[in-house]
Homo-oligomer: A and B are copies of this chain.
Amino acid sequence: MQRYFIHEPIKDDQSFRIKGEDFHHLSRVMRMKAGDHFYAVFSDRQNQTALAVLDEISSDCARATVVKWIRDEKELPIQVTVASGLPKGDKLELIIQKGTELGASSFLPFMAERSIVKWDEKKMHKKVVRWEKIAKEAAEQSQRTVIPEIYEPVSIEKLCEMADRYTWKLFAYEEAAKEGEHRQFYETLKNVKQKDTLLIAFGPEGGFSQEEASLLSEKGFIPCGLGPRILRTETAPLYALSAISYHFELMR
Partner of A243, one of B231, B242, B252: B242
Complex contacts, A82 vs chain B, CB 8 Å:
none
- Measured in the bound complex, the distance between the Cα atoms of B72 and A230 in whole Å is 13
- Within 8 Å by CB of A142, from B183, B230, B245, lies B230
Q: Chain B contacts of A65 at CB under 8 A? A: none
| Cβ-based interface call for A101 (8 A) | yes
User: Is B102 within 8 A of A250, CB to CB?
Assistant: no
Cα of A183 to Cα of B141 in the assembled complex, Å: 24
Determine if A98 is an interface residue (Cβ-Cβ < 8 Å): yes
Segment at the interface with B among A107-115, A196-204, A208-216, A221-229: A221-229
- Which of A103, A246, A252 lies at the interface centre, i.e. has the most chain B CB atoms within 10 A of its CB? A246
Known: A182-B252, A235-B102, A238-B238. A143 touches B230 (CB 8 A): yes
Query: Cβ of A42 < 8 Å from any Cβ of B?
Result: no
Identify which of B73, B98, B246 contacts A247 (C-beta below 8 A): B246
